[in-house]
A and B are shown apart, each in its own frame.
Chain A
Amino acid sequence: MYFTNISLGQYVPTGSFIHRLDPRAKLFSLLFIISAVFPAENFIKLSFWTALLFLLVWVSKISWRIILMTARPIFFLIIFTFVFNLFADSLLRALLTSLRLLVLMLFAVILPLTTAPLELADGLDSLLRPLGKIGFPAHESAMMIGMALRFIPLLMQETDKIIRAQLSRGARLDQGNIFKRVRAFFPVLIPLFIIIFRRADEIALAMEARGYEGGSGRTRRRPLIWKVKDTIVVTVCALVSILLILL
Chain B
Amino acid sequence: MIEACSLSFSYNHHSISNNEDFTGRALKDVSFFVNEGERIAILGHNGSGKSTLVKILGGLQEASEGKCLINGIDINEMDFRELRTTIGMVFQDPENQIVAAMVEDDAAFAPENQGLPSDEIQARVDEALKQVNLLHKQGASVSALSGGEKQRLALAGALTARVKCLILDEATAMLDPVGRVHVENVMKELHKSGMTIIQVTHQIEAENFDDIQRVIVLSHGEIIWQGVTRDFWEKSEALGFDLPDEFKIKQLFAARDINFPESFRDCRINFREESDTYDPAKSAKFAIQDLSFKYEDSTTQTLDKVNANIPAGRWLSIIGRTGSGKSTLVQHLNALYKIQDGRILFDDKALPQKGEEVHELRRKVGLVFQHPEDQLFSFTVRDELAFAPKNAGFTKHELDEAVLYGLECVSLDESFLDRNPIALSGGERRLIAIASVLAAKPECIVLDEPLAGLDAHYQHQILNMLKKLRDNGRTVITITHDLSMALNYSDRILIMGDGKAIQEGSPHEVIASIMHNLEPGAWPDVLRFSAKIHEINKDFPLLYNYEDFISCISQI
Interface residues of A (CB under 8 A from B): 1, 5-7, 10-13, 15, 69, 116-119, 147, 149-150, 153-154, 161-162, 164-172, 186-188, 190-191, 194-195, 199, 202-203, 205-213, 217-223
A213-B387 in contact given A168-B367, A170-B359 (Cβ < 8 Å): no
Report B-chain residues with C-beta under 8 Å of the C-beta of A211. 80-81, 84-85, 110, 113-114, 161
**Which chain B residues lie closer than 8 Å to A220 at the CB level?**
108, 112, 118, 121
Q: How far is the CB of B403 from chain A (nearest CB, A)?
A: 14
* B377:A191 contact, CB within 8 angstroms: yes
Selected from B58, B101, B331, B391, the residue in CB contact (under 8 A) with A170 is: B391
Nearest chain A CB to B341 CB, angstrom units: 19
| A206 touching B91, Cβ below 8 Å | yes
B424 to chain A minimum Cβ distance, whole angstroms, is 13
B224: interface (CB < 8 Å) = no
Q: Which residues does chain B contribute within 8 Å of A191, judged by CB atoms? A: 374-377
How far is it, in angstroms, between the C-alpha of A217 and the C-alpha of B141 when the chains are bound? Answer: 27
Could you tell me the distance between the alpha carbons of A150 and B97 in the complex, rounded to whole angstroms? Answer: 12
Counting from the closest, the 3 A-B pairs by CB-CB distance are A170-B391, A211-B84, A221-B108
Query: In the complex, what residues of A have CB within 8 A of residue B363's CB?
Result: 170
In the bound complex, do residue B369 and residue A165 qualify as a contact, i.e. CB atoms below 8 Å apart? yes
A168 to B335, CA, bound (A): 9
Contact of B89 among A172, A206, A219 (CB under 8 A): A206
Q: Can you report 15 residue pairs joining A to B where beta carbons are below 8 Å apart? A: A11-B141, A13-B102, A164-B369, A165-B369, A168-B334, A169-B437, A172-B359, A186-B377, A190-B377, A203-B96, A206-B97, A210-B88, A210-B110, A212-B113, A220-B112
Q: Are B336 and A167 within 8 A (Cβ)?
A: yes
Alpha-carbon distance between A118 and B102 when the two chains are bound, in angstroms: 9
Minimum Cβ distance to chain A for residue B382 (Å): 15
CA distance A166 to B115 in the complex (A): 47
- Number of B residues near A (Cβ < 8 Å) is 69
B60 touches A209 (CB 8 A): yes
Please pick, from B96, B114, B336, B437, the residue contacting A199 in the complex, using a CB distance under 8 A.
Answer: B96
Contact A170 B369 (CB under 8 A): no
| B residues 277-308 in Cβ contact with A at 8 Å | 296-297
- B121 and A221 contact, CB distance less than 8 A: yes
Bound form: Cα–Cα A117–B387 in Å? 40
Known: A167-B336, A209-B89, A219-B121. A13 touches B139 (CB 8 A): yes
Of B101, B118, B359, the residue contacting A116 (CB under 8 A) is: B101
Per-residue contact bits, chain B 158-195, to A (CB 8 Å; 1 contact, 0 not): 10010000000000000000000000000000000000
Q: Note all chain B residues with C-beta closer than 8 A to A7.
A: 297
Cα A150 to Cα B369 in complex, Å, equals 25
| Closest partner residue, chain B, to A167 (CB atom) | B336
Cβ-based interface call for B532 (8 A)? no
B105, B139, B362, B387: most-surrounded residue (chain A CB, <10 A):
B105
B17 partner residues in chain A, CB cutoff 8 A: none
| Choice from B101, B140, B392, B437 contacting A149 with Cβ under 8 Å | B101
- Contact of A187 with B387 in the complex, beta carbons under 8 Å: yes
Are A209 and B377 interface neighbours, CB within 8 A?
Answer: no
With a 10 A CB-CB cut-off, give which of A188, A205, A221 has the most chain B CB atoms: A221
Given A191-B377, A208-B60, A168-B118 contact (CB < 8 Å): no
Q: Given A69-B297, A191-B375, A221-B105 in contact, is the A207-B99 Cβ separation under 8 Å?
A: yes
Q: List chain B residues, Cβ under 8 A from A153.
A: 143
B101 A10 Cβ-Cβ under 8 A: yes
Known interface pairs A167-B362, A210-B157. Does A218 touch B113 (Cβ–Cβ under 8 Å)? yes
Q: How far apart are B416's CB and chain A's nearest CB, in angstroms?
A: 18
* Besides the known contacts A1-B296, A118-B100, A170-B391, 19 further A-B residue pairs in the complex with CB atoms under 8 A apart: A10-B143, A13-B139, A116-B100, A149-B101, A150-B99, A168-B336, A169-B437, A187-B375, A203-B99, A205-B55, A205-B60, A206-B89, A206-B96, A209-B84, A209-B89, A210-B109, A210-B161, A220-B121, A221-B108
